[in-house]
Amino acid sequence: MFENLNDYPVDPIMIGADYFAQDPRDDKLNLTVGVYQDEHGHTPILQAVKEAERILVETQVSKSYLALTGDAEYCNLIGLDILGSAFGDEWVTAQTSGGAVALRVMADLVAQLPVSPTVWLQTPTYGNYIPILTAAGAKYRGIPYYDRIRSKITFERMLKHLSHAKAGDLFLMQGYCHNPTGADMTADQFDALLNVLDERGVIPWIDLAYLGFAQGWEADSDFARKIADRFDECIICITLSKSFGIYRDRAGALFVKTRPADKSKMQRAVSAIVRSGASHAPDHGPSVVRTIMGDPKLKNMWLDDLETMRLRVRGIRQNIVQTERSNHDADILKYIGSQSGMFSLLPITTEQEHALTRDHGIHVVQGGRVNVARLKPDDISSLINATHDVLGL
Ligand SMILES: Cc1ncc(COP(=O)(O)O)c(C=O)c1O
């Protein structure tokens, strides 16, 4: 039977990790994996997380199942913190295993609607959206978002393509720190996009993965708040993997805003889909988040650490710009300084990308994505020199 298995594609990030492991060079550089690293190359456990874990070990009295949609207190704490007064009774919430499961629950729900809408995606975008939508059987189409060679958002083209969307379709976009481009819409562009979605009756679906890495935790929620304030129906998926540094502990959430008449149906649909897939939410990561969010002292400790991570990534971006200017009197990579989050795309072709790995031992994700948070000070000039070399400068 298993000889009939299809040949499944491997995630480009995993392929990159394999190539990196096989590369015998001592001075190779791995910029593929999407996790934060400190200046020592470690992905640290934040102090507030350690403290919350200690409290949990001492106080947790049961490991019984949670409700299918998880712990209401966890969802409420996150909902209120991120959406403020825009969060209320009209929301159906679920505690999910990271952001990926929140996305998958919603993808299943969309695919199972009697008239299945199209999900419009920014291109390029997070590499797991298409596998998730495909596995769910949801319809999707791409819209140009960013020109890798010109290092610019293709905003007008994105709006133009949205004119093909029908009422009831969905637009899946990201919050700040866009993965993989690092390029975020300006506030004016975001407002213009919301106008178009509103006019066309397209439902916004926002995926928040890097809250706190652009301007700070509070400021980075404003895109989601604007959507939540304005639209009767919208979807918010959240992962706290990055903001709390708890990648493997799987803390995420799904928030769906419905019209009042549809709320109980939505609640049952989300519960049924969770039951047939993830079945129950894992508790540890979300409990850590709930413990931190519910304790002002721990919350401040965590916010300080989040700010440290944000400033480090920002500092690396500035360092790239300054080093290129002082060593090469050039500004090919200047755009990296005004982007945010861990990722940016190098302005290189696929062939140049292969040369970067072959000739310089620099490993990037297919499509030219680099994780700037993995750069140590010495790596910065290596990356710049190699990029200039493959560009023939
Ligand atoms: C944009 C985006 N959304 C969702 C996720 C999924 O996060 P999680 O690991 O919590 O499932 C990621 C992870 O890299 C991401 O970059």
Rounded to 5°, angle at Cα 392 from 388 and 393: 55
Structure tokens at 386: 């190699």
Q: Residues 80, 37: one domain?
A: no
Could you please report the per-residue DSSP string of 235-290? EEEEE-TTTTT-GGG-EEEEEEE--GGGHHHHHHHHHHHHHHTT-S---HHHHHHH
What share of the chain has pLDDT > 90, as a percent? 94
> Is residue 208 within a helix (H) or strand (E), and if so which, with residue range?
strand 203-208
> Total domain count for the chain?
2
Cα separation, 378 vs 317, in Å, equals 14
Q: Residues 210, 156: one domain?
A: yes
Nearest CA to ligand 1 atom 3: 209
Q: Residues 222, 183: one domain?
A: yes
At which of 268, 295, 322 does a domain end? 295
Mutational test site, ligand 1, from 11, 33, 128, 173, max ligand atoms within 8 Å of CB: 128
Q: Residues 145, 226: one domain?
A: yes
At which of 257, 278, 295 does a domain end? 295
Q: Residues 232, 347: one domain?
A: no
Cα separation, 259 vs 280, in Å, equals 26
Q: Residues 315, 272: one domain?
A: no
Which is nearest to 13 in space by CA: 135, 147, 131?
131
Structure tokens at 243: 């903001």
Domain that holds residue 358: 2-44+298-390
Q: Each residue of 14-51: pLDDT tens digit?
A: 777 888 889 999 999 999 989 999 999 999 999 999 99
What share of the chain has pLDDT > 70, as a percent? 100
Q: How many CA atoms lie within 13 A of 38 on its CB side?
A: 11
Does residue 241's CB lie within 6 angstroms of at least one atom of ligand 1?
yes
Q: Residues 128, 56: one domain?
A: yes
Domain containing 307 — which CATH number? 3.90.1150.10
Q: Give residue 223 CA to ligand 1 midpoint distance, Å.
A: 17
- Please give the mean pLDDT across all residues of the chain: 96
Cα separation, 81 vs 238, in Å, equals 12
Q: Residues 164, 217: one domain?
A: yes
For residue 344, give Cα distances in angstroms to 7, 283, 347, 381: 30, 33, 9, 16
Cα separation, 364 vs 357, in Å, equals 8
Mutational test site, ligand 1, from 97, 179, 206, max ligand atoms within 8 Å of CB: 179
Mutational test site, ligand 1, from 126, 206, 254, 344, max ligand atoms within 8 Å of CB: 126
Q: Residues 267, 127: one domain?
A: yes
Could you please report the per-residue DSSP string of 156-188? HHHHHHHTT--TT-EEEEE-SS-TTT-----HH
Cα separation, 39 vs 22, in Å, equals 25
Stretch 256-277: mean pLDDT: 97
Q: Residues 245, 329: one domain?
A: no
DSSP letter at 234 equals: E
Q: Residues 353, 228: one domain?
A: no
At which of 295, 327, 354 does a domain end? 295
Cis status, amide bond into 180, omega within 30 of 0: yes
Q: Each residue of 287-346: pLDDT tens digit?
A: 999 999 999 999 999 999 999 999 999 999 999 999 999 999 999 999 999 999 999 999
Q: Residues 356, 383: one domain?
A: yes
Residue 20 backbone phi and psi in degrees, to 5? -65, -45
Cα separation, 62 vs 162, in Å, equals 49
Look at residue 258 in the predicted model and tell me its pLDDT. Answer: 97
Q: Each residue of 191-241: pLDDT tens digit?
A: 999 999 999 999 999 999 999 999 999 999 999 999 999 999 999 999 999
